[in-house]
Structures are given as C-alpha cells and as structure tokens.
Structure 1
Amino acid sequence: MLKEFREFALRGNVLDMAVGIIIGAAFTTIVTSLVSDIIMPPIGVLLGGVDFSSYFVSLSREAAPVSLEAAKAAGVPVIAYGKFINAVINFTIVAFALFMVIRQMNRLKERIAKGQEPEAAAPPRQEVLLEEIRDLLKVRG
C-alpha cells in the first residue's frame, strides 16, 4: 500500500496539481488585494462612499443593535447581508478581471500559433520545372 501511495504521490499530474494549487493560493492573495485595495475604493467613491459591509438585519426581538460589530459583540443573531453584497461585488470584479486576463492570453496564444505555422506556399518555380522534366523523362524512358 505504501508503494502504491508513493507512485500516486509522485505522478506528474499530482505534482502539477500541487504546483497549481500553490500558485493559485498566491494568485488569490494578489487578486484579493487588487479588488479590496485598488478597485473597490474608486467604486466606493463613485457610489458616494457606500460601504455595504455594515448592513445587517437583526433576528432578535429585543432592541436592534446599532452596528454589526455591536450585534456580534452582544451575541445577537443577525443576517449580515451587506457582507454578502460585498462578496458578490468582489466575485464579479474578480471574475471579470480573470476573464480579461484569460482573453488576452488566448489572443496571445493565437498570435504565437499563427506565427509558428509555416504558410503553405507554392514550391519555387525551379522545383516545378524539375518535376516536370523528371516526369517527361519517366514517360520517354
């Protein structure tokens, strides 16, 4: 069983997947920073400084807490729908950013593929004439 596990763990696909996961985790950090530190502040300014993260609905029948932090500190059950709205906005921005990156990569791959493929050009005139001469000699001889 140990031998089988070692063979499984050392397969190329498993190693490739591990590298992909590690790079994906690092990429997630970069994308999260891009969204929260670079993209969301201008969107917040455009929307008049709206911060959805503090929006919530209290599920308690007692007096509603003043803020989400106060509700959490008091142990009051809440639906923090503002955080969900922020998560949806972040997802949309990340998905669009990834779409743009992948779109550009696909275009680059197409350009590279077109540049590497030799064009199907007609053979030089000399070769055509030599082939005709060869064919005539076959017929005569």
Structure 2
Amino acid sequence: MPRLPDDDSDDDLDILDEGRRRASRILHGFIDFAFQGNVLEIAFGLIIASMFTALVTSFVSDIMLPPLSVLLPLNKNLDEKFAVLRPGPHRPAEGGYNTMKQAQDDGAVVMAYGFFLNRLLNFMGVGFSLYGLAALYQYLSHDPIIKHNVKCRYCRKWINEKALRCVNCGSWQDGREDRVIPIGAVEGTPDGSQTGSQERSQEDIL
C-alpha cells in the first residue's frame, strides 16, 4: 500500500520558510533605515555637535573662568560659589563650609548660583561660537544659512525678510495691499480718469 505524504513535515517547512523570509525582511529593512543618507548625515552631525559642545564647555570652564576668578574677588572657582540657606548639624564654627560638596554632605540646604552661572556662560559660549561659525560659512560659501525675520505689516507674525507674500495671511509685502484701485480704473487710466476718446464717445451719445 503506497505511503501517504507527511503533511506535518510540509507544514513545518512552510513555517520555517516564512520565518526566514520575515527575518530577512526585517534585517534588510533595518539596514535600509540605518544606513540611508539622511540618517548617516544626522548621526555625523550629532557626533560633531557633541564634540564641539564639549570643546567649548571645556574652554569656558577650564580656560576662561579661572583667570576671571583670580581677577574678581571670588577666592574660588565660579562653579564653587554657593549660598547656605540652612546649615547642617555639623557646620564648622569658623569659616563655614569650604566647598559645596562639604555642605551637601552635612545636609545643608544650599543655593548653587555659581554652578548656574557657569552653565549660563557655557550656553552663551556655545551659542556665540555656533553663530560665528555660521557667519563665517555664509561669508565664504555665499550660502544664506542665517535667516533674518521681520514682522508682517498686516498680521504681525514673523516671516522671512525676503518673502514676497506672508505665509500666514497671504498678503503681499511690497505695499500693493494698501493701493486702492478706484472704480473705473480698469476701463480708463490707472487713476480712474477717462481718456479723451472715451469722453468724446460719451458726448456723442448725449
């Protein structure tokens, strides 16, 4: 008697083939997503931006602020300046806390204004450095990457200074919205007055 085909083995092979196809589709989709041009450009940009931020932060904190702390009567680095709002139980009787870590370890409530000023100076340093690089790139490449904005004269929303029409209200920025065309200006002259031939034709009709 002939042997019947094993349906279970065929089903197992179909399941394995379907699993391999799905795994291959997921793998190729991930490769297409991870290595496409835009993603790589964004990744390189983020890496360079992170390194640039760390460089500017180190320049401000380690190079600029120490001489400033010497010139000004700070007697310590700017990021170590703090105010004790409530002392801890073991506050030194003379001189107080020497460092902010000492005060925090003692359980004191401190306001670390020096740390905030340090972060603020770092932020300003990074911002001005980026603006300087953008201005230098724009000067050398003539590519206007710095966009200057003005307020629309009608809706008072910010638009590009070179825009011909407002993207918000659709009004023209060259002043044509303020020019009122008199009645009859289409049939006559732009100021609404009629030409001599039109005046003579009206006299003939009368």
TM-score by length of 1: 0.61
For the pair shown, which has the larger CA radius of gyration, 1 or 2? 2
Q: Which moved more, 1:4-13 or 1:60-69?
A: 60-69
The separation in 2 between residues aligned to 1:43 and 1:57, in whole angstroms, is 20
Question: Structure 1's 25 and 93: CA in aligned 2 closer, same or farther, altered over 3 A?
Answer: closer
- The Cα of 1:61 is off from its aligned counterpart by 6.0
The separation in 1 between residues aligned to 2:87 and 2:108, in whole angstroms, is 10
- The Cα of 1:46 is off from its aligned counterpart by 4.3
Count how many residue pairs are aligned between Structure 1 and Structure 2: 111
TM-score by length of 2: 0.45
Flag the structure with higher helix content: 1
Q: Give the secondary structure class of the aligned counterpart of 1:5.
A: helix
The counterpart of 1:82, out of the listed 96, 114, 127, is 114
Structure scoring higher RCO (CA < 8 A, sep ≥ 6) equals: 1
- The Cα of 1:12 is off from its aligned counterpart by 0.9
The counterpart of 1:3, out of the listed 28, 34, 49, is 28
How much identity, in percent, do the aligned residues show? 38
- The Cα of 1:108 is off from its aligned counterpart by 0.9
Q: Give the secondary structure class of the aligned counterpart of 1:66.
A: coil
The counterpart of 2:79, out of the listed 38, 53, 57, is 53
- The Cα of 1:93 is off from its aligned counterpart by 2.2
The separation in 2 between residues aligned to 1:61 and 1:49, in whole angstroms, is 21
* 1:49-87 per-position Cα deviation (integer Å, ceiling 9, x unaligned): 563322323454646652312112224343312100111
Following TM superposition, where does structure 1 have runs of at least 4 consecutive aligned residues deviating by more than 4 angstroms? 61-65
- Equivalences for 1:1-141 in 2 at 5 Å? 1-49=26-74, 51-60=77-86, 62=88, 66-67=97-98, 68-110=100-142
| Unpaired segments ≥5 residues, structure 1 | 112-141
2:147 paired residue number: none
Question: Structure 1's 45 and 59: CA in aligned 2 closer, same or farther, altered over 3 A?
Answer: closer
**AA aligned opposite 1:47:** L
